[in-house]
Structures are given as C-alpha cells and as structure tokens.
Structure 1
Amino acid sequence: MDSINRSLISMALIKAMWDEKKRNADFIDLYVPLVAKVIKDKGYSEIEVDQLCDDFEGTYGIRVPRHPMYTILRRAQKKYKIIRQDRGKYFPDHSKIEDLLKNSRESITIQRSIEEIINKFIQFTDTQYGKKIKRTEAEEIFLNFLKSSDMELLFASESKTVLPQTRSRKWEKVAISEFLIHLSENDNTVFERVIDIATGHVLASAILFEEVSPEHGHSSFEGKYKNVEFYFDTNFIFRLLGFEGEGRKVANEELLHVLRSQKAKLFVFQHTFDEIYWIIDDSAKWLEDPLYDSSLASQVSRFFKENNFSSSDVEKLLVELQGKIESLGIEIVDVPDLDTLQKYEIDEKALYDKIVNLYKVGPGEFHEEDKKETIWKDVKSISAIYRLRKERNPKNINEVRYVFVTTNATLAYASRRYEIDVREKPFIIPTCLTSIFIGTFIWLQNPKTYRSIDKKRIIGDCVAFLEPTRELRKRLVTETKKLRDNGQISPEEYNVLNSSLVAKNLLMEKTMGDPDAFTDKTPFEILEEIKARARAEGRSEKEEEIQKIKTEKESLTERIKDLEPKAEKLGIIEERIDSRARDSAKRWTRAFIIFGIVLIIVSGFPQVFGLKPLFRVLCGVLTLVLLVFSVYFGKNLKTESGKLYNWLYEKNKLKKLKKFKLID
C-alpha cells in the first residue's frame, strides 16, 4: 500500500470517527487514536516528536508538522491520559493505549469503499476518453482534486497541505470533474463516499491552522457569528449571481443563509458594487461585437455569450442589480472615513506589491496592467477592514467584528503575509478570509448544517475545472480566425465555435483541457459533432411527434371502444323517446284543434247551450284569441307542433340519460 492509498483510507477513516465522536470531542480528538496506534505499533518507550511525525506519515499518508503534533500530544496527555510528560519529554502508557484502541474502527470496509470509487473512475476514463490508467494514477488524480482546495482553506497556515507530494497531468482535472458530476447524477451512494473522503480531508487539514486548533478549550472561530460584519468581494457576488455555475451559486446562497441565521451582518463596499456594475456593463458591449475574443473576455462576458444573453437582458440585470444584492440581506456601504481613522491607515502600496508579487509566481498568466484596477479595489477593501478594527486584536471572531471575504485564495494569502510582515503581533483572526475557510469552520461546529453546502461546493468546483484555460481558448480563437479568413468556415460557424456553450463543452471533451491536445482538426471535429447532434435532435423531435400521434390515436381507439356499448344503448333509448315524443305532440295538437272547434261552435250558438251572459263574453274573448292565434300561427301549425315535439323529446331524453347513468 503506497502513501497515496494510505492517505485516502486515512481521510475516510477520520470522517468515520468524526461521525461517531462524542459531543465534547473535536477534530484534535480524531488524531489521538491514530497517534496512539503509531506509538503502539512502533513500540515507543519515549516519544520523539520528529520521529513520530515521520512514522505517522508513513502509516497514514498524512503529514502533521511538529507544532500541531505537540497539540495532539498535549490532548492525549491531558484528556486521554495515555501519555505522561516528564521534564519536557513524553512517555507512553501502553496499557492505557491498549484500552483506547480496543474499540478503534477497522479500515477494511473503508478500503473496499475506496477501491470501488477508484475502479469506477478507471472504468469511466476508459469508456469516456479511451484512456487506460493504472490504479496508482487514479488514486493520485483523486488526491490532486482534494489538494486543489488546500490553498483556500490553509492560506493562513505555515504548512499548505497534509497530503503527500504528487505529480499532476494536464487532462486530469477534466477527467475527475466529469467523473464526480457523473456520480452525483447517477450513483449517489458512491458520490456520498467521495464526499466523506473530502470531509475527512478538511478535518485532517484543520489541524494545520493553529488559530482554529482548540488546544486551550476553544477555537478562535468557535461560537455564533452574531454582529460580525462580513464584507464580500466582487467575485463572491458574481458567484451569487450564477456567473460561475449553479453549484457555486447555491453553495454561496446557503452560506449566506447560515450567516444570516447566526445574526451576522452582511455588506458590500460601495466601490465593490461599482466594480460589479462596471464589469457587467462593459461585458454587454461584446454581445453583438464580431471581434469578440473568448480568450481575452472576462468570465462575465463568456457567461453572457454562452447563455445567449441579449443587450436588453443585461440592461435589465443592471437595473435590478442593487435590488438582487439587497434581497440576499447584503447592504451596500461606503468605506470608513479616512480622515477620522487616519492613524489606522496601512501602507496600501506595500500590500499592493505583496499581492502582485504572489500573482506573478502563481499558476497561469498574469498581466499587471489588466488587473491593476481590480487589485487596488481589493487593497482598498482590506485597508478599510484595518481601519474598522482600530488595531484591536481579539482572540475570537465574535469580538473581532470585521472581516473581508474573498473567493481568491492568493489574495487572502497575500493579505496574511502582509500582516505578518508589518505587525509585531499579527491579527489572530486575519483581515481577509476565503469563503471556503468560513464555511468550513461553520461546518466544524455544526456538520449537518454545512453538509449540503460541501456537496454543492464540490460540484461547483468540478464545473469550474471544466472551463478551458486562457491558453486553450487562445489556440481555438487563433485557429478559427485563420479558418474563417481562408473561407474554410463561415462567420456563423466561427461565432458558434467561440461563443456557444456546446462548443466550449466539446472543446474540453476533445482536448480534456490540455492545450497540447488541440490540433488543426479540432475545430472541424467540434463543428461536425454539433451538426451530428442537431441532426439527432431533429430526428428525436420527429420521433417524439410520431410517438405522440400514435399515443393519441391509441387513446382515441380505446375511448371509442368504451363508448360503443353506451352509444348502442343510447340509440335504443333515443328511438323510444322519439316515438313517445311524436305521439305526445300529435295528441296535444289534436286536442288543441278539437278545443278550438268546440269553442267556435259554443260561441256561435250560445242560445242552444243556454249560456249565461258572463260565459258568453268569456267564450267570445276566447274565440277572438283563438281566431288571432289561428291567423298568426295557422300557416305554421306544423312548425309549432314540431317545437312541441322537440321540447318533449329533450325533456324525456335528459331524464332517461340520468336514469341509466349515461351522463352525470
């Protein structure tokens, strides 16, 4: 078993122990049984800390530096009583170590779970990319993915990782990111195991930052964040707006929700809001510009182009921007007055230089002129936090009150290095913290609260890793411009290749993010794939329409079958009703005619019938009415008889249909 495999097993083991930990335990307690096992297996009679650090790394694949190891030993001595200290030296109590390790968790089940993850990853890379990788390579790639977040978590620590050294490959981030997204969508059980390992990595890493190590009974970041004022940077707001994908958007929204629930106060400086507004407004000009170059465009510009934003969409966003930010509980405020707080002013130029120097030695391209304005705005924000703190240096975040939050680990690291350089006693709580750092230590206090955020953050990171690098975009733009100018592709095809979301995804799929894998055939392969998908979608739409028609036809056929017995019964009933209605109409018509004849005879010969004067008058009136009726309706007696028939028919039909339950 090599150190990388041991590291993965150890992180999963730490997470399992964390799940079982008692209420009064913390992440330092997780290390105690691990250290105890090393002491037992190596048979120490006296504990040499440097040797213990080496042996611990050899056993678990996790590097714990000297100072944190002393913290663990003090916990083992004071709380667990498994070692004793005498004249500055540590001595183990092997009988108590045996008792402690009786109920220690076995790693066999955990090892099998990791093997399943690695096997699935090996199979995925073979199926998806045609790459056959060894088990050791797969484990190394997985470990590199975990290490990618180390800087954001450990920017303020002297040690930058607990994990062993590894080598990286240009294509590996794409492969592992696609794999993890695939797991999250298709195999949640295995994905949860991945989250467990990632959680174990966070727990293992937490030991490196002494300000959060609760060696003296509490952590500097422990407790509620009531009345702590968090000031967010531009990119944090961009993530909230969804410009870096849904995963990061939701993760940041949930972090804000947790902070609000703890009564923290959330802010954005006015100059930060102005920068956000300007970047969005400036990005709009590229929407219709034929000279749009994705290799030079900002993240916001690419987001607008890839998601088919129109100029009116961007204008609407700008109109609603302040309302959107404020609806998240974030208030826009000015920086504190420089005149009244001048004595707390820092050397902003020195901080600027510190940031620039770290950017220059960092990964990726850096052009100072392009970033100059943004860096100065970050310096202005950090300087404002210094003035707000007024040199106060409390040991707890509840008392420090003011923190600048960034998504940029290099910025946070530069700010911390500046504090150490210029302050005799650096702030215990750094002025600038990463959002991952804050979220992690909220989670350490309440794991259930942050579990969903951690999952979404990992997916958000995966999506971010699927973004082409500037070098890869530049190769695409350069090649497609040449093809367009030579007439080998149309201007429309050029636009599709350089600004569509599907083309970007295919570019990453064809090259796996490696610029060296880009060839002069790549643009044509992408175009052909887009056309093939369009044809397939067209066929799919036709097939769906045909299937829809077939389904409707089958439904109608079944309906007709259901109605046939009812229709037959209804026909019989209608025949009976028709016959009865005709007979009734004829009887009523005959009765009317007979009544009229009798009335005329009686009115014409009243003496014969011996009618009294009153009855004579009544008969005369009735006769007159009958004569008028006859004059008006005489020619339409047949029609009126038909109306009578219709009325009788409908009345009887309704009764019969209800009786036989043919209608409701």
Structure 2
Amino acid sequence: MSNNDLITSLAILKTNWDHKKSYLSNFIPFISQCIIDNRPEVLSTFDLKEQVEKRFGISIPHNTIKSILSDMKKLDLTTSKDGIYYPNYSTLTKVNFAQLKQDFLRKLTYFLKGFQRYCKESFGIDISEDEASELLVTLLKSRNIDLLNCHIFGAEFPAASIRDNKFNQILYSYIKNIYFNEPDRWEYFVILLKGQMLSTVLMYNDPNALTRKFKNTDIYLDCPLVLRYLGLEGETSEVPAKELFQLLLDLGAKIKCFKHTRDEVRSILHAAKLSLNDYRDKKLNLPVSMHFIKIGYTPDDIERLIYCLDEILETNGICLVENPQYYYKYALDEEKLIDAIDQSIVYFTENKISRQNDAASLYAIYRLREGNSQYFIEECKAILVTSSRNLCIISYDFFVREKLIKEETLPMAISEHALTNYLWLKNPIKFSDLPQNLLIADCYAAMEPGDDYWREYMEKVEKLRARNEISEAEYFLLKYNSDVKEEIFGRYIRDVPLYDGTPKELIERHNNGLIEKEKAEKEKAQKYTEIVRLIAVVSILIERRLSIERENKYKNKSEDKFNSQKQTIDKTVLRREHLALLFSKIGLFTLYIIIFALGLWISIYEYNGGSEHLRWITGIMAGIFLVVQFIPINNEKVWEKIKNWLYHSANRILIKFFYPQ
C-alpha cells in the first residue's frame, strides 16, 4: 500500500486512541449486523466467524470474536449468563449499519452514473460501471487526503497529476467540475472519500509485518492448552487452539511444553479412564471425560493414548523439554509463589499438583529469561501461554512485587485470547475477494464516526505529512496499544464466553442444566485459605450481632408503641361499653314502665264500661299486656334477649357517632 494509506491509517488510529476507542471496536458493527440478520437465540463464535467471513470477507479468529463479544457487553449489545453470551436485540436494533451501507452504495451508484454520462457527453467514451468504479478506487487511494482537505479546510482544489493516464485525468476533471458546479454531487463524493479513508485502517497491509518474526523465543503451553490443541476436549476447544498455533507457526515461533506439564496431561487422562468405569465419579464432569464418552472411547483406548503421549506431542509439533537448570542467581521463594497462586485461582481438584505445576512453569520461564526484563514477545526468549487469566495477573504482579522484574516488563505468562489478538493484529487482516466498493461501503458503515471526528483526523494527517519519517512500526504500535497491551499486563481483563460451540450445543447445555452441574462441582472443589475463612466468619458474627441489636431495638419501640395504643383503646372501649350498658338498662326500664302503664289503663277502661265490642277488644289487650308484664320476671331468656338487643344497638350508635374505631 501507498505512503498515503499509511498516513491516513495512522491519523485515524491516533484520533481514536485519543478518544479511548480500541482497534477491535471497529469490528463490533460487523458482528452486530450478522446477529441482527440471523437473530440467533445464543451467540456462537463458530456461527459468527462463518457469517462475518461470508458476508464481509473478513476472517476473524474465534478467540478474537470472544474478545469482541466481551466489548459488546460493555455497550449493552450482548448479555451473559453462566458463561454463555446472548444477544440484546433491544439495543442491537439501534445499530444503523445496513442503512449507512445502503446509503453509501446509493451515492456511489449516483456518482458513477454521473461520471459515465460525463465521459459520453464530453469525450464520446463509453465506460462500464465496473471500470468507472475501479478508476474511482485507484484515484481515491492516491488523492484522498488532498481532496478531503479541500472540503474540510477550504483549501485550494488540488491540481491534477501529470503522471495520471487519460482515464484518470478525465475522472479528475469530472470531480473538479462537480466541486465547482454541482455541490450536491460533491457531497456524495465526500462520503466516498471518507469511506475509502476509513477502509485503509482495516485494509492496510504492513509489508514488514511478517518479517518481524519471533527471534529465539519459545512458546510454552500449559496443560489445558495442550489438551485443547490435541483435540482431547472436543472440536469446540480444538479449533481456536489450532488457529492460535497456526498464527504462531506463521511467525516462526517454537512451541514447547515442560515435562511436568506432560505429566499433568497424563494424570488427567488417567482420571478420565477411571471415571469411565465409575459414572458416579465427579471427574466425569471434566471436559476430557465428557469428550471421551461422546466419541465412544473405552478405558483401553485412553490407556493407549497415555502410552503414546510423547509421540503424539512430537507429531503435533510440540517439543517436550526438561525444566531449566536451577541457578542460585535466579532463586525465588517457590512456596510464596504457590501461596499467591492458591489465593487467586480455584482448581477443580483438591490435590496440589495443578498449582505446583503452574508455579513451576512460571519459575522456569523466569530462569529461561535469566532474570532479565523483556519488553517484546518476539524477543523475550520464553513465555507461557495459558487459559487462566488470573495466572497471567500473578505472573506480572508477583514478580514485580518481589522486585524480580521491572515494571512494564513482559509478564511470565500471557492468556490465549490476548496472544491471539496480538498475533492477529500483527498480521495483515485477510479479506476475501469481494469487490473493493463493497468492502469500502462496509468499512464506512462500520466506522463512520460523525463530522466532529473528521476535522481531528485531517489535522493529524497534516502533522504526519509534515514529519520527515513515518514507519509501519508506528501503525502496528497503535493497533497493539489500543487493545492488547493492557490485556497482556493484566490491567484489562475481558469477560470472554466460558463455553462455546454450535448454537444447538449451547442451547442443549443450557437446557439440560449442564452448566449448573459444572458450577456445583466447582463450588464443591473450592478451597479457601484460613484467613479468608476467618474473615468470613468474623464478618458473619458481626453482622449477626448488629442484626440482633437492630431487631431488639425495633422490637422494644414496637412494644412500647403497642402498649400505649392498647391502653388508649382499652379506656375507650370500657367507656363505650359502660355507656351502652347504662343505656340498655334505661331502655329496658322505660319499656317496662310503658307496658305496665298501658296494661293498667286498659284494665281501668274495661272496668268503667263501654260498648260490647270495645269491651271485648280491651279485655283481650289487657290480658296480653298483663301476661307481658310478668314474662320478663318469670322468663330470664326473653329478658336477656331484650337486654342484649338494647346493649348492641346502643353500642353501634356510640361507635358510629361518638367513638369511631
């Protein structure tokens, strides 16, 4: 690529770096659009890799896609649960990638049609759309900076180059014509300019990238990576590991493992063999055991695998080496290192083999480097590649804290994801043979930052052009610094998916509760240090004491308030009941007087005489009243009923009007 492309790429990367925008974030819109188009239930790197490559022609490693999914989670484009990533369609639908791409292609077609018509009317030349597109891409690559300066800063329209051929000069004259006479079409052309400049960031190929190979640097693998590379944990783990190894081999790295790592692999295979004979063994839940069951391996098959392990490692390009010789000069407190590992990493098994091997590997790398501080992976002599992010952090923090290495020194270990990202960024990004105009349209839709950024881009372009020297190394350094450096040094940890596979496998894993079972096994296997347990116990006791005090305090306040309210209510109820009882007695006495008076009056009236019919009526009434007069005295039930009725009636009247509850 031209020096023009290098300047453009550097300017855009520098501006994005100033705004805390990483290089990998440029690929988020590509992943997002594939998710929107296919609408999967769960996110599989296998599916996403295939879709991105098919749709956009970009080949992204599985581990890098995991890193991008982690970055998307921070933007609320994805969510995660139990190590599986899910799309967040409520946010993803706001990504306007497809609209921007269609708008770009529409404006490109409009511009090309105008150029074809210009060639026909002004020069009598018929030119196809493909030929016009090819001419446009070539011109944009050589004159993009000058033409965009003209638009943004109002600079003088640049003169045509005398080295251009006939068709390039015709195209340039057309661009000059629309600049002065057709402002709408010129605005369309500016969009094409921006798309081409943005595409250089992704499509720029550093010619010296592959010449900066590993120099006397050996890559050592930890046990999980050996298992994955040999395909002993299944295809979903094998494919990303082999992608990483191929990137290493392309750069001339030597892949090795220590003999104690080989011995750990053997112990895992032996445990898997035993688990096939006892389905109740918890080791059955290890990925190796599950893989052997899936492919129908017998204990005899695993025994042959154990016996031929050295030969299998050699066949797959992994060199088996002894631990380096011990030198007093490079001594360190191994027990202290093991304790640091034990406090930060939870292992599946209760034995100490895994943590001792991890400590031995880090110590071996330190001795292989002869205690020297190293700053570049390609020249660091030795480095351990691991699947454990916490081990990477320890490999830096412990050695710096113990003053065994300087700060900003390369750690003893690097994660498989960080190394994959580093190597992928180091290599030119591979695009398939899609038409250039489609690639430019995709890059514009994915990376268009808005008008505010473009002035900053062009200001940095002019500063870079004013410098006497610029290098491809600076371009790679910006790509590396924007993403991988913080991850390598353990300052930035991506929450990558723990589980991968096809969507069907991920859904089955979720539905069958395998994740919950595996989590349960991990929880059983966890062993905390004595100090952590002590802190936990003390914290619980303190919290319990405070909780009891709060409850007692609240209880006392509640009881006092209740007693006060109860006393008030009791006084009110007693007063009301006393009045109701008094009113019932008065009413009952009044009723008795009325009955007695009526009976007496009727008796006197009957005695004094009157009509015969009237004497009969008053006689009957006198008899009734006389009987009624004696009922309350002789019949206690009737008396009590009348008394209760009067009492309750008086009580209701008092509650309603004078003593509401």
**TM-score, normalisation: structure 2:** 0.41
**Highest RCO, 1 vs 2 (Cα 8 Å, sep ≥ 6):** 2
**TM-score, normalisation: structure 1:** 0.40
Which of the two has higher C-alpha Rg? 2
